[in-house]
Amino acid sequence: MLSLPANLPPQSRAAERKYIEAKTLPEKIKYLQEFISTIPEHKGNEHMRRYLRRRLALLKDELETQKKRKAGSGGGGFSVKKEGAAQIIILGMTGAGKSALLSAVTNAKTEIGTHSFTTKEPIPGMLRYEDIQFQLVDTPAIFEGVYYGSSWGSQLMSIVRNADGIILLLDGRDAGNQYKVIIKELGLAGITIDKKIRKIEIEKTTGGGIQIACTGRIQCRVEEVDKTLKEAGVRNAIVRIWGDASQEDILEAMDQTKTFKASLILLNKIDLCPKALSDFSATEKREALGISATNKQNLEKISSAIFKSLGLLRVYTKEVGGEPANKPIIMREGAKVLDVAKIIHSHLYKNFKYARVWGKSVNYKGERVGPDHELMDKDIVEVRIK
């Protein structure tokens, strides 16, 4: 352990003592995070903070390895095959109404109980939105400490990480507290619902060593970047850097490796607490949709809200002289014409000449556009080749 500078506040020394005396790996991670958060942010403490962040990354990797080992020896885990346009995991605390919601908006047959922790394993159901469907997955209840508690927590966070998005279902009578618990547990698992524009992204991989892609200039030797990441327990990763970056920038990016998940916040049981939505918005500064799973209130708004939260668009392809396809290609906002050509066939992509587009993204029907033309929802695309 590093010797502490004399100018650290008492709470930092108390947090360090908890970390040193911790007996289990989850406790060590918890108290080391607490320790780091209490250290004043100024240049004199940066060397120590850097060391502690590396140590924290190593401990988290060790815990993840242990959980995978336990899950493997247990003969299975949570797993749901993806279907439809996107897979959405419903997260909520016990009694929030996850099973009631799934039953009310999909074809799924679920057990809706009055006792705690009724749902023991993931249950999928399909929700229609116009001409596409979303797969909603009811999950075992999340609770404070679930990430550290058992393989249950590890399996739950694993399917969240694999999903396209999440619904945070909160009981309107205790929405603020439930929201804080869920966000905390997601954070411990390295998952965030806040999308940030980052200067540096570090994507861990299963092999290939450290690969660096930079649009600017790295203000240190590449070997130093490699060493920095390996000291933090990252041996295989793709590092994407936009603009110039120093070694300190890369160290800071180590704290920003959380996985972003698009989210929709639903406040259930608003028939019992009409002020829940306004109170939640005022305290948490978050947009939410108030619903009642039992009284069917606002349930018809959920599918369009999911579509919007995921940032999706539908593109219909068309052959020259033919009719638009009935089934759309599901793409992300910002998708371009050339992206459509890639999906259809490599031949169209390699021999792309131009495209004609019908829809909101063009000024008139069948407008001729180039490969970088950005598409909008429900556009029809006809690709022409050389």
Q: According to the 3-state scheme, what is the secondary structure of 177-198?
A: HHHHHHHHHHHHCCEECCCCCC
Higher pLDDT, 276 or 51: 276
Q: Is the pLDDT of residue 128 over 90?
A: yes
Q: At what angle do helices 46-73 and 151-162 cross, to 10 degrees?
A: 100
Is 208:248 a contact under the CB 8 Å cutoff?
A: no
pLDDT at 170: 97
Rounded average pLDDT over 11-21: 76
**pLDDT tens digits along 35-77:** 888 887 766 677 777 778 777 877 777 777 666 655 554 444 5
Give the per-residue pLDDT at 167. Answer: 97
Residues near 371 by Cβ (< 8 Å), separated by ≥ 6? 336, 337, 338, 341, 352, 355
CA triple 236-185-298, angle to 5 deg: 115
Residue 256's pLDDT is: 57
Direct distance between the N- and C-terminal alpha carbons of the chain, in angstroms, rounded to an integer? 65
If one compares 18 and 354, the residue with the highest pLDDT of the two is 354
pTM of the model: 0.70
11-15, 267-271, 352-356, 372-376: lowest mean pLDDT where? 11-15
Within a 10 A sphere around the Cβ of 55, how many other Cβ atoms? 21
Mean pLDDT of 94-102: 92
Please list, in sequence order, all residues whose beta carbon lies within 8 angstroms of the beta carbon of residue 349, skipping any fewer than 6 positions away.
Answer: 338, 341, 342
CA-wise closest residue to 89 among 119, 118, 67 = 119
pLDDT, residue 1, reads: 44
The more confidently predicted of residues 31 and 305 is 305
Which amino acid is residue 94, in one-letter code?
Answer: T
Instruction: Give residue 197's pLDDT.
Output: 61
Cα angle value 328/87/180 (rounded, 5°): 135
160 near 186, Cβ under 8 Å?
yes
Residue with the larger pLDDT of the pair 78 and 225: 225
**Choice among 198-202, 226-230, 279-283 with the minimum mean pLDDT:** 198-202
Distance (Å) of CA 171 to CA 167, 269, 312 = 13, 6, 28
Q: Is the pLDDT of residue 7 over 80?
A: no
Res 3 pLDDT > 50 = no
Mean pLDDT, rounded, for 320-343: 91
